[in-house]
Chains A and B, each alone.
Chain A
Amino acid sequence: RKEVEQDPGPFNVPEGATVAFNCTYSNSASQSFFWYRQDCRKEPKLLMSVYSSGNEDGRFTAQLNRASQYISLLIRDSKLSDSATYLCVVGMEGSNYQLIWGAGTKLIIKP
């Protein structure tokens, strides 16, 4: 079983729609959680950190469910520019902040 699992997609979504991704992680000792965005043939970039109480950044909302060991990302009013691969990332304190990366969920926003 992979340590961080994501649905690879692609998710084909019309512009303006709301889309949600989930990610599950296997290590209950995980302490930090992130969503990174990766455009085609580019490097990953941090989209947002995920906090226990949930957090929002504009059209993006991230939630963490420690009991079920999953993280979610919700994108509202999707834009064409949101087309990318979204990487779920999990880290543990005390491991020199090594991160475990999911393989990503591909999102395609259609006009």
Chain B
Amino acid sequence: NAGVTQTPKFRVLKTGQSMTLLCAQDMNHEYMYWYRQDPGMGLRLIHYSVGEGTTAKGEVPDGYNVSRLKKQNFLLGLESAAPSQTSVYFCASRDRDRVRNEQFFGPGTRLTVL
């Protein structure tokens, strides 16, 4: 079991470039999340999905788009990168069980926008 994987691990973009971050999980989880983590701040939710084919906005969705075409994959897209999007991006997944709310995280993607 690989758990949650993210690609790429590092990326440097120029302002205005686009890219897609891929998250994959092999735990058959229904729920998937994209967060960003900035110094001195808690994780902030960008978008999330409660199942294949569904997506919803989180706390900071502007400038990002997502897709969940397959249950195991959750893609985060930046159409026109800005320096304010320099951050560490974490993907997470969890199962539907109400009692066990644990989110399992990928190793993160460190993105720098110049």
Contacts and interface: CB of A to CB of B under 8 A. Distances in A.
Bin chain A's interface residue count: 20 to 34
B31 A97 contact: yes
Contact of B45 (A41, A93, A98): A98
Contacts of A101: 35, 42-44
A43 B90 contact: yes
A104 B40 CA distance: 8
B74 to A, nearest CB: 14
Contacts of A1: none
Contact of A100 (B42, B101, B106): B42
Contacts of B105: 43-45
16 contacts: A2-B42, A32-B101, A34-B101, A42-B108, A43-B90, A43-B105, A43-B106, A43-B107, A46-B102, A49-B102, A96-B31, A97-B31, A101-B35, A101-B42, A101-B43, A103-B40
Interface of A: 2, 4, 8, 32, 34, 41-46, 49, 87, 91, 93, 96-104
Given A32-B101, A98-B48, A100-B42, 4 more contacts: A43-B105, A49-B102, A96-B48, A101-B35
